[in-house]
Structure 1
């Protein structure tokens, strides 16, 4: 049996407001239900309980293999923002009634404890195991997730304070870190290379803010990132996404040929999202990245390599869990755009995610972070920040399969 879903605006060969029929594969329906059950029955209950610091109402950096929090490691402040996003998203879908209050608490912890004490805006990078500031640097990548959290807190609460915080933070980024050759600098510290990665997540955050507010200036911000992608990040000759650059957005002389297949497929999802919001046909870039990632990005096990050289040769052989979530998202985006292999490949990626990273965890709702050349587990810690990746992948596939209601 197959299910008919009517989805709007999925193909640029049709009018954006027209409808076309998508037949959802049974295998994907089954995989979607499995993913949602795991998220709602196992992952969210675990991380909303053991992940929360009882006396601080903030979130631990990671859990041990036995499901207990690691009480000795430092915690990146952006973990609070990424978990706030995940909990807010779960609340919005009715998966976690307590998600709203937890998301609010995490954002308030950031405001009260992680604002930079000397700068006139922005937040610090790291807190120690006693929740004192351990690293005062301001990092662009971190700040992209504060904007994302503010977008989602506004979405679930309607409280304008989160929009005020987003506007204020964006002004700070513009005043302090804007680059005359496009984009923003990495932060207030010296770096060896500029990265596309922080800008990729700003792209995501700007689109989230646009969807939350319908304010055109956020979509215009996303357009700035799209222009950087077109002119700097995307390598048309090799059909890949470059990661590292010099100060003028030229490929870095040492690291410029390193690519990450996981980011390539993440951009496939982002590009399709931008295309829906802007009306721009993005298929040239999305298809190129998707096809190239499938040509060079996978090990024989079906897992995606963490990084490799631009010519497709190996750099290492490790495979983290998060790239598989991006494979799922990319295939759902491609399926929406009419690519016939998207549904089957998304279902396959979900199966691999469970086999190698989720079902093998010693505690239900946790995960294995990384595997080596032989697909053996590299370490037994579960980073809290991975929930962000898993939540987006889960909601994308569930929303796709539920689009007929």
Structure 2
């Protein structure tokens, strides 16, 4: 898959047709030239839900050593948590650091710093460098493999703590992670190894786009926080890898990024082989690449193509929201609706509508927001419902609190767009 100088994919036999280009042009033209529709972000709800989420998590998750109790039931009672995993801990560090910007008197920055210090002291490998996957309740290492996905969230969290608090040690720690990722996780094909042994020996197995996506997100955050040129170059390297290698162009002008690949980054070809297209990730890539246009103008056009596919293949035009999966070899799609996919869908619709002033995206933003308010926001217990398959009344929701990372990112973007 290639990208031409105009940022519209070129894929040979699967290249963008003239009809597809016309479709994209017509969609782009469904806009409000006076930008009056940019005020359709429900700022009050986004702020209120962000405040409610952070208050609940701050009341129930903070442990005396600075780490977090992440496993809780719907009523906020703690569940067994035999290990503390780096990704979950880092995501809550990010949430509290981001919350400080909007609620500076709530004590969230202090909490984020204490938890960031816990990450640096307990997850850091003093022998080989990098960060282990998990530690026990006593803070001692448990699973000592190293995961690219974990490192992306640790870098994201540290960059955000630096951005809102200004302590350079967190900036330096974030940059050190990227230095080690370049040395240890980059594979010859241009992507990332999923996992390495403690001594950094890569572990064999299929590849996934997910750590690539979140490493791109983290590098954008580092670049935004401190303007580091290496972070910018790293984000460009990963973004170009996705646009040129992973993205699959379609004849109608849309495009998607498959979820799983072999060790040469060829997409797994069938459902039976483990291949699928995660529809929530198409929405997520769309808003991340829109943000990434600051480092490459190509990315905004790639984002439009991914959003076009996500809407055509994954959006529920009747009730709003995002379906779960499509499959490369056809067959019946998975039309369940999970909780985080709805957050990423709403995020992408809002960012895309703000970037293009497209009325059809604002309409879908409002439709999906209604779905979230009615079916995911837990009016009885607070937080969101951990839905594997909406609606909850049919038994598709677990008795557990989902961590607030996706929701915080959504609300943060909404408040920044409006303000």
TM-score category, normalised to shorter length: 0.7 to 0.9
What residue is the counterpart of 2:250 in the other structure? 237
Instruction: Note if 1:38 corresponds to 2:49.
Output: yes
Q: CA contact under 8 A between 1:306 and 1:320: conserved in structure 2?
A: yes
Please state how far the C-alpha of 1:321 moved relative to its aligned partner: 0.8
Which moved further from structure 2: 264-273 or 328-337? 328-337
CA distance in 2, matches of 1:358, 1:73: 28
Q: CA contact under 8 A between 2:385 and 2:397: conserved in structure 1?
A: no
Instruction: Note if 1:144 corresponds to 2:155.
Output: no
Aligned residues: 375
What residue is the counterpart of 1:13 in the other structure? none
| 1:112-161: CA deviation from partner (whole Å, max 9, x where unpaired) | 2112254x211111234555433111100010011111111111221111
What residue is the counterpart of 1:51 in the other structure? 61
What residue is the counterpart of 1:196 in the other structure? 209
Please state how far the C-alpha of 1:108 moved relative to its aligned partner: 0.7
Please state how far the C-alpha of 1:394 moved relative to its aligned partner: 0.9
| 1:144-184: CA deviation from partner (whole Å, max 9, x where unpaired) | 01111111111122111112212222222222222111122
Q: CA contact under 8 A between 1:74 and 1:129: conserved in structure 2?
A: yes
Q: CA contact under 8 A between 2:320 and 2:364: conserved in structure 1?
A: no
Which moved further from structure 2: 337-346 or 77-86? 337-346
Please state how far the C-alpha of 1:43 moved relative to its aligned partner: 0.9
Which moved further from structure 2: 195-204 or 365-374? 365-374
What residue is the counterpart of 2:309 in the other structure? 292
What residue is the counterpart of 1:250 in the other structure? 266
Of residues 269, 272, 278, the one that matches 2:295 is 278
CA distance in 1, matches of 2:401, 2:145: 25
Instruction: Note if 1:86 corresponds to 2:95.
Output: yes
Please state how far the C-alpha of 1:358 moved relative to its aligned partner: 1.1
CA distance in 1, matches of 2:289, 2:362: 18
Q: CA contact under 8 A between 2:319 and 2:367: conserved in structure 1?
A: no
SS at match of 1:383: coil
Of residues 395, 400, 403, the one that matches 2:417 is 400
CA distance in 2, matches of 1:378, 1:56: 31
SS at match of 2:98: helix
Of residues 107, 113, 119, the one that matches 1:98 is 107
Of residues 362, 368, 384, the one that matches 1:349 is 368
Instruction: Note if 1:367 corresponds to 2:385.
Output: yes
Please state how far the C-alpha of 1:63 moved relative to its aligned partner: 1.5
| 1:326-366: CA deviation from partner (whole Å, max 9, x where unpaired) | 11121122112222222222222222112221135x41234
Change (3 A) 1:244 1:39: same
CA distance in 1, matches of 2:246, 2:402: 28
What residue is the counterpart of 2:24 in the other structure? none
CA distance in 2, matches of 1:139, 1:93: 32
SS at match of 1:86: helix
CA distance in 2, matches of 1:126, 1:355: 36
> Structure 1 regions of 5+ residues with no counterpart?
1-19
Alignment map for 1:323-334 (pairs within 5 Å):
323-334=341-352
Please state how far the C-alpha of 1:232 moved relative to its aligned partner: 1.9
Please state how far the C-alpha of 1:71 moved relative to its aligned partner: 3.3
Alignment root-mean-square deviation, CA: 2.4
CA distance in 1, matches of 2:321, 2:346: 12
SS at match of 1:371: coil
Q: CA contact under 8 A between 1:193 and 1:245: conserved in structure 2?
A: yes
Alignment TM-score, normalising by the size of structure 1: 0.85
Change (3 A) 1:147 1:305: same
| 1:56-75: CA deviation from partner (whole Å, max 9, x where unpaired) | 22111222011112134533
Change (3 A) 1:96 1:199: farther
CA distance in 2, matches of 1:312, 1:86: 38
Q: CA contact under 8 A between 2:269 and 2:328: conserved in structure 1?
A: no
| 1:353-387: CA deviation from partner (whole Å, max 9, x where unpaired) | 12221135x41234333225885333111132xx1
Change (3 A) 1:128 1:372: farther
CA distance in 2, matches of 1:183, 1:218: 16
Change (3 A) 1:67 1:256: closer
Change (3 A) 1:365 1:292: same
Instruction: Note if 1:115 corresponds to 2:133.
Output: no
